[in-house]
Amino acid sequence: MNIRHICSSFSIIWIVLMPLFLDSCKKQDLATYTITVGAYTQDGSGNYVFTGNELIFDSNEECQTWSRTATGDSHSASSHLHFNAAANVSYDNSNVTFSWTEYGPELDQESIETTCNNATGGVNKTVTNTSYYQDKPNLFLKIISVVEN
């Protein structure tokens, strides 16, 4: 076998195999999603009751922030805003599971952005569309909708 034949054979094999190698390197799901997570409480009978509050996430956006009105606490005796952020977001479309690291609360937008960018003191959370995630003593989260963008 001469060198020209070997090189020609190698080239043909490479041309056939290269698309297979490149295809295996692609991200499984390149789509982006808007995930709406509902907040629920439990009544005395153990039934989940929708609070009317929702968190809306983008499956690919890091350090997305939101605020909510908090009742009086150690920050202030009266109601005030708490700011939170989500980073390390991950959505699994085949299992309808959304995970993130949540940062906060902070008392202003600038502080929560700094906390999130520095990855300071986050809590990992995972929600699905089939079960309730207990976020606080009487606050539960569950995916209520997913829209492919």
Domain chopping of the chain, boundaries: 33-148
Q: Mind listing the pLDDT tens digit of every residue in the chain (149 residues)?
A: 555 555 455 445 545 444 544 444 444 558 999 999 999 999 999 999 999 999 999 999 999 999 999 888 887 888 999 999 999 999 999 999 999 999 999 999 999 999 999 998 999 999 999 999 999 999 999 999 999 99
Exposed, middle or buried, 107 (CB in 10 Å: 0-12/13-18/19+)? middle
For Cα atoms 90, 92, 93, give the angle at the middle one, nearest 5 degrees: 135
- Listed in sequence order, the residues at least 6 apart from 100 whose beta carbon sits closer than 8 Å to its beta carbon are 57, 86, 87, 88, 89, 90, 124, 125
Q: Token digits for 49?
A: 């009751």
